[in-house]
Amino acid sequence: MRGFEPVREEFRQNEEYYMPKRSTKASAGYDFATPVRIALHPHEHSKIIPTDVKVSMGEDEFLACHIRSSLGMKKGISLTNITGIIDSDYYSNPDNDGNICFQLKNNSEHTVIIEKGEKVFQGIFQKYLKTDSDEINSKRTGGIGSTGEKEKITIDISKYRDDVLKKCHDTLHEPLRRVDESLTNAITNHILNDDWKVEDFDISIKDNTLEVKCNIDGVVTKVVKCKEDVFDLEKAVMMALLKQFDVNYGLVDKIIKNSPYPRESELYYCVNFDVFNQPYVLTGIWTWESGERFVPSFEDNIFKTRKEAEEKVEQIRDILKRNK
């Protein structure tokens, strides 16, 4: 039997999923759509994104996954593993029920936005051949990476230090510094300076799980990331650093979620005026570097949704009419 189906409910990671479909009668590939909105800055890679879809096929078949040309050739987007290979025994594995996942990289010099529901890659069913002397009888015991080595892999954090500092600055320091001064000071005084060094960390991956140990001045903290976050190294290091300096990441995350400002790389909306002094909604991608000009001068002119911005436009139009 060959076909696609949703993974079991307990393994789903998104609010909704999109079943792969061919575009035309002669299409070789089945198009997979992203279940979430993706924003990628130049040379940035996304998290691993589950589609919440699995595939069944013959034992001598595999599904080859390739980026769609509309993203690859026109926007410089690629799959991080270039070509994804889904083996027949990945179906319904005990780790993730065969959830097909993907990760993207932006190879261009421009920020690329991929909206939820947009087609991202295509899967093509293919058969494979074996050598006459092939005697492999072992079976898959897990999900992504389960057929690889089970040895502990140590990661050199030195090449990630700048990325960690940037993520701390963009996702923690900037959103917090106008909301909670004490937390901001903790982040500024400890994380964004030279109090910590790369040798203070022991980072490893084993059995597809990321483990971060932080040891500063003899105080050891440990963060173990679950499998779906295995490649979110910057976040894991941030959590370890915050814990090291008695800052609760859950509290920080809650404050940021309730912040009036968009998160880094999110769409934002504001009110602008045309040459006739008429208000309209302006849309952009929020970065704290560029957003700084809006704060605090235009603190009440930053909106997370278009509806909020449109309501503001109507209020301004009413005021302009009354003042004519």
d(CA 310, CA 281): 6
Report residue 38 CA to chain centroid gap. 7
Estimate the crossing angle of helix 233-244 against helix 161-168, to 10 degrees: 70
d(CA 92, CA 56): 9
Angle made by CA atoms 242, 245, 246, in degrees to the nearest 5: 85
Containing 124, the helix (H) or strand (E) segment is strand 119-127
Considering the entire predicted model, what is its pTM? 0.49
Pairing of strands 61-67, 84-87: antiparallel
Count the alpha carbons within 13 Å of 135 in the hemisphere toward its beta carbon.
1
Q: pLDDT tens digits for 45-59?
A: 888 899 999 999 999
CA distance readout (Å), 99 to 125, 216, 224: 17, 38, 22
Structure tokens at 20: 């792969």
Q: Looking up tokens 């278009």, which residue turns up?
A: 306
Pairing of strands 84-87, 104-106: unpaired
Please answer whether residues 126 and 64 qualify as being in contact, where contact means their C-beta atoms are separated by less than 8 angstroms.
yes
Assess whether the previous peptide bond of 296 is cis (omega < 30° from 0).
yes
Structure tokens at 13: 């990671």
Q: Which residues pair with 154 in a beta bridge?
A: 204
Identify the structural domains of the chain with CATH numbers, from first to last: 3-127 (2.70.40.10), 153-257 (no CATH), 267-322 (no CATH)
Angle made by CA atoms 40, 158, 228, in degrees to the nearest 5: 50
3-state secondary structure of 204: strand
Question: Got the DSSP string for 53-112?
Answer: EEEE--TTEEEEEEE-HHHHHHH-EEETTSSEEEEGGGTT-TTTTT--EE-EEE-SSS-E
Q: Looking up tokens 């799959």, which residue turns up?
A: 79
d(CA 195, CA 197): 7
Residue by residue, pLDDT tens for the chain (324 residues) are: 899 999 999 889 898 999 999 999 999 999 999 999 998 888 888 888 999 999 999 999 999 999 999 999 999 999 988 899 999 999 988 888 899 999 999 998 888 999 999 999 999 999 999 998 887 776 665 555 545 444 444 555 565 666 666 767 776 766 676 666 777 776 777 666 655 666 777 777 665 566 777 776 666 777 766 555 545 666 777 777 777 767 777 777 777 777 767 777 778 888 888 888 899 998 888 776 666 555 544 567 888 888 988 999 999 999 988 887
Residue 110 has φ and ψ, to the nearest 5°, of -125, 150
Instruction: Tell me which amino acid residue 117 is.
Output: G
Q: Looking up tokens 């070789």, which residue turns up?
A: 28
CA distance readout (Å), 173 to 86, 179, 198: 40, 10, 20
**At CB < 8 A and 24+ separation, what contacts does 70-75 make?**
70/119, 71/114, 71/120, 75/106, 75/108, 75/110, 75/112
